[in-house]
Amino acid sequence: MVSEMTPTRRVLAAVLGGRVDYVPPANPLAQTTAELMAHVGATWPEAHRNPKMMADLAAAPYEVCGIEAARPQFDISLEAEVLGCPLDWNKPDRPPVADHAYTDPKEVTWDQDFAKNSRAAVVLEAISILRERYAGMLPIIPVITAPFTVAGHIAGVENLVRWTRTDPEKAHAFIDAATDFVIEYGKLQVAAGAHILFPADPSASGDLISGETYEEFVLPAHQRMAREVSAPKILHMCGNTSKLLPYVKKSGMDCFSFDAVPVWYCRQVLGNSMSILGSLDVIDLMPNGTPEDVYNRTKECILQGTDVVGTACDVSFGTPLENLKAYVRACRETPVPQPDDTEAMIREIGVGIGKLGKADGKTIEETTGRAFQ
């Protein structure tokens, strides 16, 4: 029996494979809902530019709902902006990259004082505010856009994916330049007080690239991040990543945050080589489901072996607070599964598995009726 833990200790233990008193509801995906923004008086685009407002909004999920994480930086375009890309501020909540900045990887550069002269300064100050405010009791998990996605932003996603086939040397050079910058920014986030980093690499989705492309072009960048930035890291990739999982397992990251893969399958493929974080649907369940639906799905994720429960992607603006609170309540009320609970899990979930269990030798298609390979 593990004694009651602080949120930070609980989340660090879960991410690093330790024992916990309950599976933490530590969602590092953005949760900038209408009600949470109203609660702290946050507005767009000011929340991207005002460090105190950013800190307040990052902490709102914890203060209002009990979600055990604060995630400053609400967009994944900041890194590309620092590297010279214009953003479309007509979409002020999460401004997308409006155009790529480079055609030659040798030209990629950035202001060596970007920590003071760009929006990165806002994020770093927000991290410092949160660290001082909570005295280390609340885990600070800022997002950092991972190298393949940054390379796609600065060179053009379609160009980058095409070059992985037609000009692999050029693709590698762009990814290497992006990796250099991301590692530098990640070290600054850790120095500012981040407990865990959340590298998000949506362009590395299995819906966009093959497992072989991930292994050759993306995996080395993830491995460099894992080696060169000291804080624990939760790698996030969107979409169907089932064919990438055998390679993600080699990334050196501490935890994998996933989207459209069953929890039990992710657990089965990754085994105990890394922790897993997932996965509450944000398209229908979180904005449109009942609190009971969210509670039951959260419990199911825990019984299937997830180490941290979070959402599959950023929470939509209209997601009701009662659903966020139901997710937290389910985490606190569901006993942590033990390896010898596997048979009970299978009886309750059907295809659910424990950390060390297997899905009765069946393929993922046979157990879900859906093609994931």
- Is 351 inside any structural domain? no
Asked if residue 67 has pLDDT above 60, the reply is: yes
For residues 211 and 244, the answer to whether their CB atoms sit within 8 Å is yes
What pTM was computed for the model? 0.90
Catalogue the E-assigned strands of the chain: 143-145, 198-200, 234-236, 255-257, 275-277
Residue 367 belongs to a domain: no
Q: What is the pLDDT of residues 76-89, one digit of tens each?
A: 999 999 999 999 99
Domain that holds residue 333: 7-341
The per-residue pLDDT for range 167-218, each reduced to its tens digit, is 999 999 999 999 999 999 999 999 999 999 999 999 999 888 999 999 999 9
| Structural domain contains residue 263 | yes
Query: Does residue 290 or residue 207 have the better pLDDT?
Result: 290
Q: Is residue 372 part of a domain?
A: no
- CA dist., res. 63 & res. 248, Å (int): 33
Asked whether residue 176 is domain-assigned, the answer is yes
348 assigned to some structural domain: no
| Count of structural domains within the chain | 1
Position 3 confidence tier, pLDDT thresholds 50, 70, 90? low
Q: 94 lies in a domain?
A: yes
Q: What are phi and psi of 256, to 5 degrees?
A: -120, 125
Looking up residue 304, the CATH number of its domain turns out to be 3.20.20.210
pLDDT interval class at 338 (50, 70, 90): confident
Tokens of 60: 């709102």
